[in-house]
Chains A and B, each alone.
Chain A
Amino acid sequence: TQLLEQSPQFLSIQEGENLTVYCNSSSVFSSLQWYRQEPGEGPVLLVTVVTGGEVKKLKRLTFQFGDARKDSSLHITAAQPGDTGLYLCAGGNNDMRFGAGTRLTVKP
């Protein structure tokens, strides 16, 4: 049973389009992390959100933590082929559990 539900699971878009990935849970988290993983490599941390309602920006990526700290979203503006990868949200209060991931493909 996934503690964190991610949607969509797969997303294929054209270069230049915008997209949003969602991460939802019925549990409250002290923090939520977003990672990006390339094939054959470990996950690389993109951001950690801690405060309910928090918004963090990382270039074209915008991360938001829900007010109740149960959900989060990742918005990518003007996606590029280099954004292709597996995006994972993860959360936990003492350990870290991952959502199923969103596999993003950005076509040139």
Chain B
Amino acid sequence: GAVVSQHPSRVICKSGTSVKIECRSLDFQATTMFWYRQFPKQSLMLMATSNEGSKATYEQGVEKDKFLINHASLTLSTLTVTSAHPEDSSFYICSARSGREGGETQYFGPGTRLLVL
């Protein structure tokens, strides 16, 4: 199956700093990428959807100025958590899909665990 990587896999940062997480599709072109957040013992919650070359669409309650998403190429999307706070500590997972429409399989990255001190 298709492979999606994330970097870093784990990051610890101080409160107030910014953290960038990369999501790459390794063997296919990802027209659409998704970012999810998962708190302990909970399911994945969709944060935003990004299509290559256009602005991301954020879910209700997700601050677009705090969670900056860039999908500049067909194989790379980045999520930057700006001015991180302890409550932003979570497991961030990206997924990638080759098409813009539904019905295509999404492939998930291994996740990035963020701990904000």
Provide the bound-state CA to CA distance between A95 and B46, in Å: 9
At the interface, yes or no: B49 with Cβ under 8 Å from chain A? yes
B49 surroundings in chain A (CB, below 8 A)? 94-95
Q: Is the CB of A100 within 8 A of B42?
A: yes
Which of B12-20, B70-78, B81-89, B101-109 forms part of the interface with chain A?
A: B101-109
How many of chain B's residues have a CB under 8 angstroms from any CB in A? 27
A52 to chain B, nearest CB (A): 14
How many of chain A's residues have a CB under 8 angstroms from any CB in B? 26
Provide the bound-state CA to CA distance between A50 and B103, in Å: 8
Q: Pull 9 A–B residue pairs with CB atoms less than 8 Å apart, ordered by A.
A: A42-B109, A43-B93, A45-B108, A88-B43, A98-B43, A98-B45, A99-B43, A100-B42, A103-B41
Residues of A near any B CB (own CB < 8 A): 2, 30-31, 33, 35, 40-45, 48, 50, 88, 90, 92-101, 103
